[in-house]
């Protein structure tokens, strides 16, 4: 079983046995964004754009990740949102489970009310290296991210 080993903003490396959930991100064709080199990224994020909003996952370290749903208006970006309709902050495993279980926009149980995002959890630091975008994650990819 492959694992995801990442050195993130905090400088701590970690290994996650999240293969099944990461495979599900690939199957659903989420976009992966990596800041820094492949073997030691500073930060990893994934997003899925719906017609009116985007779901975002930010992996920070082995103990902390953030997921949120952000409305898309005009050319607004999905990182550093001004408002979110959903946010969850916990370990990477639970955060990934939460965002994958979120109902699609317009479906019963889907969040609709806007709230203020918790900072800095819902923000990407300004001092990161240039991002590399991999879109969408291939459902046929082999090995780790």
What one-character DSSP code corresponds to residue 36?
S
Judging by DSSP bridges, how do beta strands 31-35 and 43-49 pair with one another?
A: antiparallel
Question: Whole-prediction pTM value?
Answer: 0.80
SS3 97: helix
| pLDDT by residue, tens only, the chain of 145 residues | 334 444 444 444 444 445 667 778 888 889 988 888 877 888 889 999 999 999 999 988 878 999 999 999 877 779 999 999 999 999 988 999 899 999 999 999 999 889 999 988 999 988 898 888 776 665 555 444 4
* Residue 32, token pair as written in the block: 């992966």
């Amino acid at each position: 079983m492959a694992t995801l080993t990442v050195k993130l903003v905090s400088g701590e490396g970690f290994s996650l046995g999240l293969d099944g959930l990461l495979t599900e991100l690939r199957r659903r064709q989420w976009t992966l964004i990596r800041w820094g080199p492949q073997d030691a990224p500073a930060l990893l994020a994934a997003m899925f754009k719906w017609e009116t909003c985007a779901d975002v996952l930010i992996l920070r370290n082995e103990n902390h990740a953030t997921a949120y749903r952000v409305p898309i208006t005009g050319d607004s970006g999905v990182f550093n949102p001004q408002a979110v309709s959903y946010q969850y902050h916990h370990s990477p495993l639970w955060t990934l489970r939460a965002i994958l279980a979120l109902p699609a926009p317009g479906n019963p149980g889907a969040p609709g009310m806007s709230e203020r995002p918790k900072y800095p959890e819902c923000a990407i630091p300004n001092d990161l290296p240039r991002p590399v975008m991999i879109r969408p994650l291939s459902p046929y990819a082999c090995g780790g991210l």
